[in-house]
Amino acid sequence: FDSKIMTWSAEQTQEDFMKNDMVIVVDTNDNVLEPANKYVTHKWVNLIEPKNMLHRAFSVFLFNSKNELLLQQRASSKITFPDVWTNTCCSHPLYCPEELDATNDQIGVKRAAVRKLEHELGIKAGTIPAENFRYLTRMHYKAPYIPGYGPLTESTPTPEWGEHEIDYILFVKADVELQPHPDEVRDTQYVTPEKLKELMHEDSGLIWSPWFRKIVDKFFDIWTADIDETINTDKCVDLDTIHRL
């Protein structure tokens, strides 16, 4: 591995992250192909076929001891999907040995989750061991970023940015102290699964990330029927399927 690929610093601007973060480009079966920066992997060409490269991501769902899910509103300074509400943390494992490591139930992706929980939400790295995350499954989706989030029509301007990801779903339960990074997170709140459904209703006026809405629509009722069982057993685990959403 090139040592430059393995370097990472939280003290960067959003533009720096787009240029310097080397994410993991994969094929549709999640086989590793090469590294590429976030600028290349998130650049869009049209509404039908994304120019950006398919790459690995993860979505963390952190519940407290009351079984409330921690949500975040992405900062206004984010280049992709600013100001939208979403799950606890959504980001990318980097192309480095520590985060490419697929042993021990995808420990590399879990290490990336620990890194980004500290960066975005100020959750200290030792608070949640990487081994505590329950890796449930993967989903393959793509979504253009449309400012204003209106309906897609023939007159819709070509999006500049978007997501095209194989997303690893990670559940974990912990009571944590938060110190959100203002350049990453605008707001946070804990909600019950029942309250989340109210907030995601179109009448709420809130805007949600496309990946979170896809996950909630397809899986959330099943996964949150018994949160402790989901996190502590293999009942909801499906490591063989890549769900095409």
Structure tokens of 81?
A: 């999907």
What is the percent of the chain where pLDDT is above 90? 69
Of the pLDDT bands very low, low, confident and very high (cuts 50, 70, 90), residue 17 is low
Of the pLDDT bands very low, low, confident and very high (cuts 50, 70, 90), residue 21 is confident
Of the pLDDT bands very low, low, confident and very high (cuts 50, 70, 90), residue 3 is very low
pLDDT for the residue 145: 73
Give the residue numbers annotated as catalytic, written as ranges: 90, 165
Q: What is the pTM of this model?
A: 0.88
pLDDT for the residue 107: 98
Which segment of 68-82, 93-107, 146-160 scores lowest on mean pLDDT? Answer: 146-160
60: CATH: 3.90.79.10
pLDDT digits (tens, 9 = 90+) for 151-183: 445 555 566 788 899 999 999 999 999 999 999
Full domain range(s) for residue 73: 3-244
pLDDT for the residue 38: 85
What is the percent of the chain where pLDDT is above 70? 83
pLDDT for the residue 5: 44
Which segment of 27-41, 49-63, 120-134 scores lowest on mean pLDDT? Answer: 49-63
Domains of the chain: total: 1
Of the pLDDT bands very low, low, confident and very high (cuts 50, 70, 90), residue 193 is very high
